[in-house]
Chains A and B, each alone.
Chain A
Amino acid sequence: MTPEELEQISESEHEAQGKFAHRVNVCVAAGCLSCQSQSVKDALDKDITRRGWEGRCQTKGVGCMGLCAEGPLVSTDNGTMYKGVTAADAPEILDSVESSPIERLLCPTDVPFFQRQKKIVLENSGIIDAERIEDYIGSLGYGALIKVLTEMTPPEVIQEVVKSGLRGRGGAGYPTGLKWSTVAKAAGPAKFIICNADEGDPGAFMDRSVLESDPHRVLEGMLIAAYAVGASEGFIYVRAEYPLAIKRLRTAIRQAERMGLLGTSICGTRFSFRIDLRLGAGAFVCGEETALIASVEGKRGTPRPRPPYPAQEGLFGEPTLINNVETFANISPIIRNGGDWYAKIGTEKSKGTKVFALAGRVQNTGLVEVPMGVTLREIVFEIGGGIPEGRKFKAVQTGGPSGGCLPAELLDMPVDYESLARAGSIMGSGGMIVMDESSCMVDVAKYFMDFCMTESCGKCVPCRVGTYQMHRLLESITQLEGTPKDVALLTELCDLLKNTSLCGLGQSAPNPVISTMRSFADEYKAHVEERRCPAGVCGNHRNSEEPA
């Protein structure tokens, strides 16, 4: 594959798509598929055949359009978007491509949800067909790879990533350029690239959506990384609970191999790289990099102490670069547009954009990509459309079970790595769960502790027994049987787990408890001193109905 050949594929793809007078895009990512978007697409196809429009109107299965709550989503080439579409609406939609839009199904796109977003990672989502490499190439795909192979040296690639200021999107926010240069400098007969697609935070679906909507983008990011650090083999560790993402990744790998973009002597250069999939078996802890490596090696997925870091001694003892899906997805735009372009977006220390999965008690649940530094208020109330049913906002939980709950007072805080950490939460991988007044924060803390207890691997004592003890204390408090002494024990265990656990799971397991204790101390107090749950969630419901 040469730059010219790539250009040719891109042109013939544009030509092929340009032949159609109209195009109807149907979201076939997991969210919309689960509300029967495939039958919508089938009905459209059938109706096109019935009308004899085959050469005139094309339907395309595309990736996530973002507003998952309103699925199935359908868009037409004149910029109209329809929500909640059913198969029965197909003829009407086809009628509308040549006349005025259907008011009944219209999903306005001039609202903040769409207007306030800035799409870099998701630039192709909802636009291209994830199962066709030609469509990706037609959207500048693999251009960045050709560019680095023909015009750039590995140190120049790393320099560009350093310049961009990109930080790991898996949660901890480690500078990506620094990680790459560490692996590049590490000596080893073999080096590995691993893409961490073991997304496990409750309510988070950013990585799934990227993999389902634009899998080639992740492959391209891995290829560029491999070229930069000198690796010849890569693995994508994807959880088995994402069958569609796995299927599309497999398709994408096969297509890239067939085109000579993956495999030996890529694009006629000496650079070779192959990618294999490894499926996670349902352990949250395998998102932790050392546990993930153990799992890829075929061992029990438990973390080990660091150092040595994977960049020095990783998979099979060799230097290994592990990045998250979203991190890799940012690479090709950075190479295409330059590190300086990327560094202009976002805040001083947190560059670029971040994809968030907006879930919970918010009007517009779905996937959003915003520049770093926007406030929580903008995300929840403008983009998210606020709280439904006129209820009052209570807290937003970021970072999953390792994160914290941020109260209304912190709504004007900018969303970046440092601010979130200062507020007692973390950026995490991008899950954002909005809670309203009907949620009890002690109950929320118990939910996350239950998650951590169940997902603890059991290797180190503080996490294995500590999460159990903390869960039991929270259980007794939410049964309205707790005492102030239980809260004191809980505080002691928070400190113990944070400081003595082996890996990030145990060290951050207390975060939901610490943050709710800090911002909602009065709720804990009401539970243990007055044996009352202010939100009316906890306790024995028979008791709460009795007159006080």
Chain B
Amino acid sequence: MNRPAANIKTLKIDGRDVTARPEETILEVARQNNIFIPRLCELKGLSTVGACRLCLVEVKGSNRLLPACVTRVEEGMEVTTSSERLDGYRKAILELLFTERNHICSVCVSNAHCELQSLAQKLGITHVHFPYRYPVVAVDASHERFIVDHNRCILCSRCVRVCEEIEGAHTWDIMGRGIDALVITDLNQPWGSSESCTGCGKCVHVCPTGALSEKGRSVAEMLKRRQFLPYLTLMREDRE
């Protein structure tokens, strides 16, 4: 029996030799090899959108920075995941996120369990040098079990994707554009009166910040449980 030749790519990430399957992305391979690349919009099990721009990496021979979450590996690729330039951009992007809405960790349900916060700490952000925006945005607590607090939303669109791709409800979407963009339920109806929402809570648990949380949680009490995502992905792959 003829077996197809194993199609394995070899590449270098931060000087380390690694191997990968051709359909894998730089971020996936880095993760397998315990190489940390910051990201906020990507979540294993959901489609990738390349929107947060934190996972940008340098690839030798390319004059552009490439998002690791959507860039597929290539034979002989030489990837640098951390440099003064990349760290500078990543800090600036995080700072821009902090200025965009009202992120006040000390009163947040996700304090100490927040991806935005922990990333900022990891990258050594001590202050924000762009002016804050302090927008007036709403909190929607109309749902019987969940709350959406737009003050803490970073528009990563994980909730939109998990609802459409995993739950199949497509309750969430994004309204408006640019700085006025907002995640909405149904056609901008209060979450509590949404007819498409199944109340599954997947959106709450993939949310990287305290924007989506369960009711009844106090400061720092909102722990996000994501086990369902790899589990569901695996089960569905098996069935196919």
Binding site for B on A (CB under 8 A): 283, 285, 300, 304-305, 453-462, 464-469, 472, 489, 492-493, 496, 499-502
Closest chain-A Cβ to B98's Cβ sits at a distance in Å of 10
Residues of A within 8 Å of B70, CB to CB, are 305
Which A residue sits closest to B98, measured CB to CB? Answer: A465
Known: A283-B177, A464-B178, A469-B131. 17 other contacts (CB 8 A): A305-B70, A453-B179, A455-B177, A456-B177, A458-B174, A458-B176, A458-B181, A460-B53, A461-B51, A464-B181, A465-B97, A466-B96, A468-B178, A468-B179, A499-B64, A502-B50, A502-B51
Which residue on B lies nearest to A458, using beta carbons?
A: B181
- Residues of B close to A465: CB separation below 8 A: 96-97, 99-100, 179
Contact A467-B129, Cβ < 8 Å, known A500-B89, A502-B53: no
Contact partner, A460, options B51, B89, B179, B180, Cβ 8 Å: B51
Which residues of chain A have C-beta atoms less than 8 A from B38's C-beta?
none
B residues near A469, Cβ cutoff 8 Å:
96, 99, 130-131
Q: Is B49 an interface residue (CB 8 A)?
A: yes
Q: How far is the CA of A496 from the CA of B54 in the complex (A)?
A: 12
Inter-chain contact B49/A459, CB cutoff 8 Å: yes
Q: Which residues 16-61 in B have Cβ within 8 Å of A in the complex?
A: 49-53, 56
Which residue on chain B has the smallest CB distance to residue A492? B92
Is A462 touching B93 in the complex (CB atoms < 8 A)?
yes
Contacting residues, chain B, for A499 (C-beta < 8 A): 64-65, 89
Interface residues of B in 77-127 (CB under 8 A from A): 89, 92-93, 96-97, 99-100
B 177-221 binary contact with A (CB < 8 Å = 1; else 0): 111110000000000000000000000000000000000000000
Residues of A within 8 A of B131 (CB): 469, 472
Interface of A is mostly: helix
- What are 28 sample pairs from A and B whose C-beta atoms fall under 8 A apart? A285-B177, A300-B174, A454-B178, A456-B179, A457-B177, A458-B177, A458-B178, A459-B51, A460-B51, A461-B51, A462-B53, A462-B96, A464-B100, A465-B96, A465-B179, A468-B133, A469-B99, A469-B130, A472-B131, A492-B92, A496-B92, A496-B93, A500-B53, A500-B56, A500-B65, A500-B93, A502-B51, A502-B53
State the 8 A-B residue pairs at the shortest beta-carbon distance, nearest first. Answer: A458-B181, A456-B178, A465-B96, A305-B50, A468-B179, A458-B178, A500-B53, A305-B70
Least Cβ–Cβ distance between A547 and chain B, in angstroms: 33
Known: A492-B92, A499-B89, A502-B50. A458 touches B155 (CB 8 A): yes
CA distance A461 to B116 in the complex (A): 13
Chain A residues within 8 Å of B53, by CB: 460-462, 500-502
Choose among A304, A465, A502 the residue with the greatest number of B CB atoms under 10 Å from its CB: A465
User: Nearest chain B CB to A280's CB is how many angstroms away?
Assistant: 14
Query: Residue of A at shortest CB range from B173?
Result: A300
Question: In the complex, how many angstroms separate the beta carbon of B187 from the nearest chain A beta carbon?
Answer: 13
**Known contacts A456-B177, A500-B53; is-contact A461 B96 (Cβ 8 Å):** yes
Chain A residues near B52 (CB-CB < 8 A):
460-461
- Whether A304 and B96, one on each chain, are in contact in the complex, defined by CB atoms closer than 8 angstroms, is no
Contact A461 B93 (CB under 8 A): yes
Cα A455 to Cα B179 in complex, Å, equals 10
Q: How far is the CA of A455 from the CA of B181 in the complex (A)?
A: 11
For B56, the closest partner residue in chain A by CB is A500
